[in-house]
Amino acid sequence: METMGNSTHLTHFILSAYFDTGHLKYLYFMIVLLLYVLMLVSSFLLIVVICVNRSLHEPMYLFLCSLFVNELYGSTGIFPSLLIHILTDIHTVSTSHCFLQIYCIYSYVIVEFLTLSVMSYDRYFAICHPLQYNTHMTRNRIAVMVIIPWFYGFLYVSVLISVTSSLHLCGNIINRVYCVNYSVVNLACSDTIAVNIYGLIITFITVSFPTFLVLYTYMRILKVCFSGSKQTRHKAVSTCTPHLASLINFSSGCCFEIISSRFNMNHVPNILRVFLSLYFPICQPLFNPLMYGLNISNIRMCCRKLLFAQM
């Protein structure tokens, strides 16, 4: 921190959740690097498969493509710096890098949640109104449904960062392995009412409407499944199971993140605290490509064609 007159100019933050692991740091580095490479390769492969196969240019696969792009974006916002911090004994980040990381993480979370909500609406229409599906899901409507989560996520986080960065901070120690907005706000010695009210209102809007949409669509889907034919039930199970599993996995990760951020975790072993905070940026980008790639037959077939075409 640099002192300028009577004020303090914050130049960096210290990420204090890192602990001395001795020579094990090389093992942790290799494990995290392997996970990151798996995320990149699996997501990138499925993006390429969806883009190059015209048979997959349908709403469900286009939403999946947006989901995989977002997971590439979110994991890249965390893992390169995480790898550096694991390998070195310097656990500081500049203020600009910290706020950039917050921007990436929070926008990733919002886009992921909203895209999963949009996908539930798509599955609802495909299963409950199959005859009107192609006329209802036009190219323009699909484009809007893909763009809105990204636009809303970037807009919301831009305002959040601008409000947080205007706070006067009286410390620079964050008990995390990466930057989160809540930890930065807790360092403020100026009035935080504005950022807290903004965060609560926008979080309520962001969570309540998509949650209502997901609950409504799955109630309707279940109603159709119980009253429909065996073929309808099979279609619902095959297309909704990966989506539901992804939604539950992501919601669990967000709950772990909220618990590790908001509550006193001093009684919990440090390595478990770190794992809980890393669950959602690790498991979702690893889980989704496997879940969708293995469960959706069209994607499996196109992956085989792309990988083994030259053999």
Task: With respect to residue 165, please indicate whether it lies within any of the assigned structural domains.
Answer: yes
In DSSP notation, the chain reads -EEETTEEE--EEEETT----TTHHHHHHHHHHHHHHHHHHHHHHHHHHHHH-GGG-SHHHHHHHHHHHHHHHHHHHHHHHHHHHHHSS--EEEHHHHHHHHHHHHHHHHHHHHHHHHHHHHHHHHHH-TTTHHHHS-HHHHHHHHHHHHHHHHHHHHHHHHHHHTSPBS--EESSSS--HHHHHTTB-S--HHHHHHHHHHHHHHHHHHHHHHHHHHHHHHHHHHHS-HHHHHHHHHHHHHHHHHHHHHHHHHHHHHHHHHS--TTS-HHHHHHHHHHHHHHHHHHHHHHHHHH-HHHHHHHHHHHHTT-
Task: With respect to residue 29, please indicate whether it lies within any of the assigned structural domains.
Answer: yes
pLDDT value of residue 66: 93
Structural domain tally of the chain? 1
Could you list the pLDDT tens digit for every one of the 311 residues in the chain? 444 333 346 788 998 888 777 788 888 889 999 999 999 988 888 888 888 888 778 888 899 999 999 999 999 989 999 998 888 878 889 999 999 999 999 999 999 999 999 999 998 888 888 888 888 888 899 999 999 999 999 999 999 899 888 888 888 888 888 888 888 888 888 778 888 888 788 888 888 888 898 889 888 888 877 776 777 677 777 778 888 888 888 888 888 777 777 776 667 777 777 787 888 788 888 888 888 776 666 666 766 666 665 54
- Virtual CA dihedral for 240, 244, 250, 252, nearest 10 degrees? -170
* Residue 25 Rama label (left phi>0; alpha psi -120 to 50; beta): alpha
Nearest to 198, CA basis, from 169, 159, 167: 159
CATH number at residue 173: 1.20.1070.10
- The parent domain of residue 187 ranges over 10-308
Give residue for tokens 């001395």: 20
Task: With respect to residue 3, please indicate whether it lies within any of the assigned structural domains.
Answer: no
Does the reported pTM lie above 0.75? yes
pLDDT value of residue 180: 87
pLDDT value of residue 294: 65
Task: With respect to residue 5, please indicate whether it lies within any of the assigned structural domains.
Answer: no
Residues ≥6 apart with Cβ < 8 Å to 100: 77
Task: With respect to residue 287, please indicate whether it lies within any of the assigned structural domains.
Answer: yes
Task: With respect to residue 2, please indicate whether it lies within any of the assigned structural domains.
Answer: no
Other beta carbons within 10 angstroms of residue 112's beta carbon come to 27
Task: With respect to residue 250, please indicate whether it lies within any of the assigned structural domains.
Answer: yes
Task: With respect to residue 1, please indicate whether it lies within any of the assigned structural domains.
Answer: no
